[in-house]
Every structure is written in C-alpha cells, then in structure tokens.
Amino acid sequence: MKHCDVFIIGGGPAGSIAAAKLVQAGYDVKLVERQVFPRFVIGESLLPRCNQLLNDANMLDSIEAAGFQFKGGVAFQTGREFEIFHFDNNLGEPFNSSFQVKRELFDHELLKDAERKGTDVEFESEVTAYDPDANIVTVKTKQGDIETYQAKKVIDASGYGRVLPRLLNLDAKPKLALRRATFCRVQNDVRPTDGTDGYIYVDVYGDNDAWIWNIPFNDGITSVGIVCTEAFFQSFNMTDDAFWDHIVHTHPCAKERYKNASKINDVGSLSGYSAAVKKLYGDNFVLVGNASEFLDPVFSSGVTLALESGSVAADLTLRELQGDTVDWQTEYEDYMMRGINVFREFVESWYDGRLQTIFFTEHKDERIKQSITSVLSGYVWNPKNYFVKSPTAAVNTLVAMIESSKQPV
C-alpha cells in the first residue's frame, strides 16, 4: 500500500486547481487520470470568475501565456430580439473578462501546471474501488496492475466518470428535464465586426424549443451546439448530423453566420448530462466539479463551478491537514449550493421563458443589467446582488413588473 496526503481522482479543471493549491502549501498529492491528455471534453466557454480562481491559485499566468480567445461578454438573440451583456458592466466584480477555450488544450495546460508545481500525476490509470472507512483507493494502472493508496483526504474530481457517487450510491435524481446537446466545430463562419467577435452568442430557436451556442476560438474555428429536449430532437426523426444542419440553417442568425462554413469534425451528441448527489462530502472525501452537481450548459457555469468547488475543497482540506476543525456542511456544501441554486434559478427561468422576458425587455434599469451581468460572469456569491440574495423572488418580481407595464391602461 502507498500513502499520500491527498488523493485526487481525475485531471480536469476541478482536480488540477485542487492539486495545485495543495502542493503549493507543501502537501503530498497523488492525482490519477484515466485518459491520455490532451483529451476532448465539452464545455468551451469560461466566465470571469474562472480567471479570479485561477489567479488565486497562481495558475492564470500559464493560461494567459497560452493565448486563448478573449471573451468579453455574452449575447442572446432570437432573430427579432437581441440583448448583450458586456462583462465589464457589472456590480464592481474584480475580473471582467474570460476566455473561449478548446478544452483539450486548456485542461492540459492546467494539469501540466499542477504537475510543475509538484503534483504526482499518473495518466491512463483508473480508480476502480474505494473504502470510505479506511480511506483506501484502488487503482488499476496502465500496465493492468492493481495498486492501493491510503490518503488523509480523497477528492473526487472525476467529472462525468462520477466515481464516488457511483461506488458509494450517492447519486440523486436531477430536477431538470432531460436534455441533449448536438454539436461540432466549423471553420469560415461570419463573425460580428463590432468588437464582440470573441463573445459567446446564444441563439434562441423557434418558440424557445432549443438554443444554439456559438463559441469562437482564436484559430478561426467555432464550436456550434444545439441544446433541446430529447422529445424535440426525436420529433425530427433525423440523424445528429441532419438535425444539426436543419436547426443551424433554419435559424435567422445562425443561417447567416454559417452560410459559408464547413464542419471540421463529425457531429457528436450527449444526453442526460444533468447530475445531482445526495451529499457533497463524507468523513474522508469530498466531491468537486461535475462529480457532484451539474445543471445545464446554457450559462457556461460548469468550469466555473468546477474551479470554485476544487478551490474551496482544497482550502478546507488544507485547514484540516493543519489540525483545524472544518464544518464541511456549512463551509462547503451550503456554500456551494448557494451559488449552484442561483444558476439553477437562471436555468429554470431560461427554459420556462421568464428569464427571456427579462433579457429581451427594452427598458432595463442599469442596476438590474449590472446585477444580471454579475451572475453571468459567475459571481453568484455576491450578497449585494439581489439575484444572489433571493434568486426566485428577484426573477419573479421583475417578470411581474414587466408584464404589468405591458397591460393597456
């Protein structure tokens, strides 16, 4: 049996930031990653809060040096209606921009950085079992050998692998409807010429039946994905490829943007990606990133929440290793759920149309716009923001005001 201070399952953003923080504090960290890097993973649009978290972990320099596409905001459009949120017009948050990233490159940069800082990284090895009482992790190595590790803390950052939720029966039923994403990368799209070419554009399709993400990279390639319910997709009786073509070429904005574009890879799809857990931690382990909760891609919150949870889990683990008592319920689970629930309200009100009523109303108070921008920037813990303090009440009150102002007098 081998020993380490902290054992981390998975080398995505959540695992890398946790590892980097712990090794910089002088602890001995083993990180096991199932795949060879660089590896593809979906989720290419980041939020300004990511930059702050990477900065706090001394990891922003290597990401900036990699020269990813600058992202200054987010635009929503239907073809008739349009609204744009510039990240620098927020409630005074410290970071005002982020990046659009090919995740295979971004995740590799982060993991290399964590390794340079002292993490013992092992690729192509898979965690296959876990004993929560003895805190012993079983690993099947690349060579097919079985090794065991005893750690003081285990951090599960296995993303869609959901290692500990599966092994410890922690999965809960997600509350959101079953949706699917159909996506590919293209070249030769027509980008905006007003300085927003690096922004993510979100196109609402039909009567809010689907939405399209347009995520531009700095090498002229753009990621284009369609998100809808499984039932909407099935109603077309088409292959992924034919469905992607049909939706993109029948949306007034996408049709124009991709009129000369060509696909550079096969159209892929993913469904049933929303996930929830009964508990975010146990006596000896903590779940971070997508191994815990994942809502929906519409506000690009996944990597932000992965970095936030990896970062907070590392800070709390550090305190525990130094002999401090940590209240994981209030300091980790309740904290994370507060931010997740702000995004949950945004996601639910996006799909039932309330949020679009707010986004596309013509007369928006500047303070409301700044508050929405702060949420869309990933600042979902700022108590000065009404959308953070009372997300449902904030959305419903605004919708009611907008609706009543439309009533004839």
Residues 6+ apart with CB under 8 A from 118: 23, 24, 29
Find out whether 259 and 237 touch, Cβ atoms under 8 Å. Answer: no
Tokens of 347: 């996601």
The answer to whether 138 contacts ligand FAD (rule: CB under 6 A) is no
Residue list 72-131, contact with ligand FAD (CB under 6 A): 126-127
Interface mask (CB under 6 A) for ligand FAD, residues 171-210, using x and -?
----------x-----------------------------
- If the CB atoms of residues 33 and 315 are measured against ligand FAD, the closer one turns out to be 33
Q: Report if residue 294 touches ligand FAD, rule: CB under 6 A.
A: yes
Q: Which of 302, 216, 293, 222 is nearest to 12 (CA)?
A: 302
How many CB atoms neighbour CB 10 within 10 A?
29
Of 5, 7, 8, 13, the residue at the interface with ligand FAD (CB under 6 A) is: 13
Rule CB under 6 A: choose which of 8, 22, 32, 358 binds ligand FAD. 32
**How many amino acids of this chain bind ligand FAD (CB under 6 A)?**
37
- Work out which of 7, 8, 10, 109 binds ligand FAD, going by CB under 6 A: 10
Tell me: does residue 289 bind ligand FAD (CB under 6 A). Answer: yes
Per CB under 6 A, 157 contacts ligand FAD: yes
Answer yes or no whether residue 29 interacts with ligand FAD by CB under 6 A: no
> Binding marks (x or -) toward ligand FAD, 40..59, rule CB under 6 A?
-xxxxxx-------------
Please give the C-alpha separations between residue 159 and each of 8, 34, 307, 365, in angstroms, as whole numbers. 12, 11, 12, 39
Least spacing, CB of residue 326 vs ligand FAD, in Å: 21
Measured CA to CA, the distance from residue 69 to residue 101 in angstroms comes to 7
Query: How far, in Å, are 85, 224, 307 from residue 107 at the CA level?
Result: 27, 20, 11
- The reply to whether 290 sits near ligand FAD by the rule CB under 6 A is yes
CA 213/CA 247 separation, integer angstroms: 12
Asked whether 241 and 266 are in contact (CB, 8 A), the reply is yes
* Stretch 254-283: interaction string toward ligand FAD, x if CB under 6 A: ----------------x--x----------
Residues 213-252 contacting ligand FAD, CB under 6 A: none
The answer to whether 365 and 373 are in contact (CB under 8 A) is: no
Q: Of all residues in the chain, what percent are helix, strand and coil, respectively (each to 5)?
A: 40, 25, 35
Q: CA Rg, the chain, in Å? A: 21
Closest contact distance (angstroms) between CB of 60 and ligand FAD is 16
Helices 335-351, 302-321: crossing angle, 10 deg rounding: 170
Site for ligand FAD contains 165 (CB under 6 A): no
Q: Which stretch binds ligand FAD (CB under 6 A): 66-74, 159-167, 319-327, 366-374?
A: 159-167
Any contact of residue 155 with ligand FAD (CB under 6 A)?
A: no
The binding site for ligand FAD (CB under 6 A) comprises: 9-15, 32-35, 41-46, 126-127, 157-161, 163, 181, 270, 273, 289-290, 294, 297, 300, 302-304, 306
